Structure 1
Amino acid sequence: MPRDSKTLRIALLLDNYPAISETFIDNQILSLLDRSIDVTILSFGRGVPDASRLHGATRRILEAARLIRIGVPRPRAGRAFDLLYLLAHPIATLRILLRALGAGALPSPYDFIRLVMAAVDLGSQPLGFDHVFCHFAPNGQFGTWLADLGLIRGRLVTFFHGYDFSERVQAQGPDIYRRLFKRGDLFVANTNYTRRRILEIGAPEARTVRVPVGLYPDRFPFRARSGAGGRAVRFLSIGRLVEKKGHVYAIEALALVRAAGVDASLAIIGEGPTRPALEAAIARLDLGGHVELLGRRTQEDVARLADAADIFVLASTSAPSGDVEGQGLVLQEAQALGMPVIASNHNGFPEGLVDGETGVLVPERDPPALAEAMIELARRPERWTPMGSAGSAWVRRHFDQAYLTEQLLILLGEVPHATAEHA
């Protein structure tokens, strides 16, 4: 039977919370807290992020939710220390071994060590919840072991986001989540594209739904872009400096934009391993005064830089490793702020904007096509305000986190006499 939301107990299985780049998880947690739901965060990992860099929303979560940190095994070089850990906790080790044998299946050695660590950190009594939200499929997979071995209780809800259905599947094969799909209670895809991909690898159709990740619209105040003043057009891109974000194509496109006589600049917010390659591309194309790699920035800095920008660009692509984007929430954030957006026609991106009305889609890995779209919008600033207004209204209608959380709770049967809407 559905419960009153005030009695609900929801846990989230997360990697090393808080992760500064995963604001969509903060958004979901806040929306649960706003409904007076009892929230517990089970965080896997060793590191503790620098508190001075945390967003205000994250600090509020840490004050209102219960946080339990669960250790994880060391890298292979430190595996001997993990064996010593098992010897130092013989009761927990024996308990997990006996329960695994009783369940008729043994986890991998790595997961066995993780389970012993979880048994020590969680205590001898199982933690009971109504639902356990596992963000990213590997956490859902591990959640099945936690449940089967009696460490947690609750319906397992697994959220797929990107690398978990792409890069990880390419590396380990399509059967990687067989256990998860058999044991999990609900599987949540952020786009219809993501849903199709996980159905292809065995997700049960009746238990697989689409619910996007969302935002809090009031944190993204609309500002009309007009192009007044005759200054250079300011393009902005936000995303980790990794191959799938396609930043190199945006840089190459800007060179073509400027070669066409359009005065324009590009700012890229984010940090990561492709920085040297991007710096080399900037130097090769003689864009040193026109492309800025701004690195990681605080939420306040990002808001200021976004407010000053005219047009948002996201040139994501499929990486050779198989890693891809799922939804690309930053596209919705940019539209909420009133920016026209230009994005690659990548996976779930077409579901996150209205092509020709709130933004423009271009082929992946195609700097000339990207440059053509950038030039077209740069030369027609009269389009910016209508596109930005349409995008802001569309995002507020479809990606409000409070609305999306309600839809999820309806699907879970926690909102009586209500039916979820289908996009």
Structure 2
Amino acid sequence: MRKILFKIQQFPHLSETFIISQIVMAIEEGYEINILVKDVLDFGKSTHSILLEKYDIGKKIIIENYGIPKNKFIRLFKAFGIFWKHRRSWSKIQQYIRLKPKFSLTWIYEFAFYNQFMNTDIIHIQYGTNSHPVDILKKAGLLKGKLIVSFHGHDAFFPINGFIQNNGYYDHLFSGDNLIVANTPYLAEKIEALGCPEKNLLTIPVPVDTQYFTPSEYLKNDEWLQVITVGRLDPIKGHAVAVDLINILRKKGLGIKFTILGDGQEYQNLKNQIAKFNLENDVEMIGRKSQNDVRGILRKSDVYLFTGVPILDGRRETQGLATLEAQACGLPVLAFNSGGVKFTVRDGETGFLCPEYDLDCLEKKLQVLMNLHLRQQMGQNARIFVEKEFSKNVIKKKWKEIYEAST
């Protein structure tokens, strides 16, 4: 049985459906899975607690703890013991240390910890920022397995998290035969611009469980639109622009109810904006919900609205999984043509794309979508589109080919 080690900074994170989906796909394909985690979060608070329990994922976790003693004398003594124990690998240890910016005993403890994964077939890292020190260990020849790193967005825009500078940060990762994966051509283009060789770069979207996200027989009408958006309340999601749009539409007398599902840093700003425009009866913020709740609300909605916009570092939404889940439920999408969003919506067929910040375009397209027959046709197209391009089974085959080719 082939072994895959998933390396994740924090797990299970509230908003990272794609990571759990990736792990579950590998388990279902029969791989032996371990999950290397720096910080283990509360499983009970995860919106995917059912999946975590079903696949017994908690028992697959390994804590990334190097066991470095606090006492400097004990730390030094133990380091000499590690040197002696691994004396046959001395040349590789030297190479590893040379690749580091400066000497530290921490590097010795890192090596000792990761030595247990020397013969793991595949190490699959989530987020480029989480690739250290595996990228250097691989380059030094201390890890034999294939290294795969999935980028997800913020990890391709410097300064990352506002402070990580591009001073050769990914040089080791982009060397050799490491496989770098982006979720859309938009993100792939950004990664290549950072110096990743084209031959090392693949584009594989995040999948949608189309057997779970399905349309309903909910009776809809053409007099009132239930509009929804799902996602963390972050500036890049553009919720404030969506609220501006609802304010314009209300003044024009259009019957629209807008539901914002999610929580995050923009919560209070959005509450203030809604109160400023007296939109309490038109816009409802319902917080974070379970996956079952999300599916149920999507099924009872008419249009999915996504007004993602660029933020200060120029970063834009790279894919938008909720946009695809909505289409799987038979909803047409109205969105800004921002970042990788255009790769998840077929303009004029499964929804409409508007230029960033173009509220006039959004307004006109929403008026068009008041037509029940059009919404139904676009919703049917959306369902077919997602099943063909983004379904779990389609993406699982792509990953299986990669994992098999990597071992």
Q: TM-score range by the shorter chain?
A: 0.7 to 0.9
1-side partners of 2:104 and 2:221: how far apart? 58
1-side partners of 2:197 and 2:78: how far apart? 34
C-alpha contact (below 8 Å) 1:136/1:164 kept by paired residues: yes
2-side partners of 1:109 and 1:306: how far apart? 52
Task: Report deviation, 1:259.
Answer: 1.6
The two structures have a TM-score, normalised by structure 1, of: 0.84
User: How many aligned residue pairs are there?
Assistant: 397
- Match for residue 334 of structure 1 among 319, 323, 326: 326
- Match for residue 245 of structure 1 among 237, 240, 260: 237
- Match for residue 6 of structure 2 among 9, 12, 24: 12
Where 2:310 maps in the other structure, the secondary structure is: coil
1-side partners of 2:228 and 2:104: how far apart? 41
- Match for residue 163 of structure 1 among 148, 154, 162: 154
1:260 paired with 2:252, answer yes
Describe the shift of the 1:104–1:64 C-alpha distance in structure 2 as closer, same or farther (beyond 3 A): closer
**Deviation string, structure 1 residues 213-266 (Cα, Å, up to 9, x no partner):** 112211101236763284x31110011111101000111011111122111111
- Counterpart code for 2:376: T
C-alpha contact (below 8 Å) 2:36/2:62 kept by paired residues: yes
1:208 paired with 2:204, answer no
Describe the shift of the 1:415–1:183 C-alpha distance in structure 2 as closer, same or farther (beyond 3 A): closer
Task: Report deviation, 1:44.
Answer: 1.8
- Counterpart code for 2:52: T
- Counterpart code for 1:302: V
Give runs of aligned pairs for residues 52-63 of structure 1, distance below 5 A. 52-55=45-48, 56-63=50-57
Task: Report deviation, 1:15.
Answer: 1.7
Q: Which residue of 1 aligns with 2:298?
A: 306
- Counterpart code for 2:296: R
C-alpha contact (below 8 Å) 1:174/1:201 kept by paired residues: no
**Deviation string, structure 1 residues 255-297 (Cα, Å, up to 9, x no partner):** 1111221111111111111112111211121111111121111
1:128 paired with 2:119, answer yes
Q: Which residue of 1 aligns with 2:378?
A: 387
C-alpha contact (below 8 Å) 2:136/2:172 kept by paired residues: no
* Structure 1 runs, 4 residues or longer, greater than 3 Å off: 61-65, 85-102, 106-113, 115-120, 122-127, 145-153, 167-171, 224-227, 411-416
Taking only aligned residues, the RMSD between alpha carbons, in angstroms, comes to 3.1
Describe the shift of the 1:148–1:182 C-alpha distance in structure 2 as closer, same or farther (beyond 3 A): closer
> Percent identity at matched positions?
24
Gaps of 5+ in 2: none
Mean CA deviation greater in 322-331 or 355-364: 322-331
Q: Which residue of 1 aligns with 2:226?
A: 234
Describe the shift of the 1:29–1:248 C-alpha distance in structure 2 as closer, same or farther (beyond 3 A): same
Task: Report deviation, 1:61.
Answer: 3.4
- Counterpart code for 2:136: W
Q: Which residue of 2 aligns with 1:347?
A: 339
Where 2:275 maps in the other structure, the secondary structure is: helix
C-alpha contact (below 8 Å) 1:86/1:93 kept by paired residues: no
- Counterpart code for 2:358: D
Describe the shift of the 1:87–1:16 C-alpha distance in structure 2 as closer, same or farther (beyond 3 A): farther
Describe the shift of the 1:304–1:226 C-alpha distance in structure 2 as closer, same or farther (beyond 3 A): closer
C-alpha contact (below 8 Å) 1:11/1:132 kept by paired residues: yes
Where 1:217 maps in the other structure, the secondary structure is: coil
Describe the shift of the 1:263–1:112 C-alpha distance in structure 2 as closer, same or farther (beyond 3 A): farther
Where 2:286 maps in the other structure, the secondary structure is: strand
Task: Report deviation, 1:321.
Answer: 3.3
C-alpha contact (below 8 Å) 2:13/2:41 kept by paired residues: no
- Match for residue 286 of structure 1 among 278, 298, 309: 278
Give runs of aligned pairs for residues 26-45 of structure 1, distance below 5 A. 26-45=20-39
2-side partners of 1:269 and 1:175: how far apart? 39
Gaps of 5+ in 1: 1-6, 74-81, 417-423
Mean CA deviation greater in 217-226 or 249-258: 217-226
Where 1:262 maps in the other structure, the secondary structure is: coil
The two structures have a TM-score, normalised by structure 2, of: 0.87
Where 1:15 maps in the other structure, the secondary structure is: strand
1-side partners of 2:72 and 2:372: how far apart? 64
- Counterpart code for 2:197: P
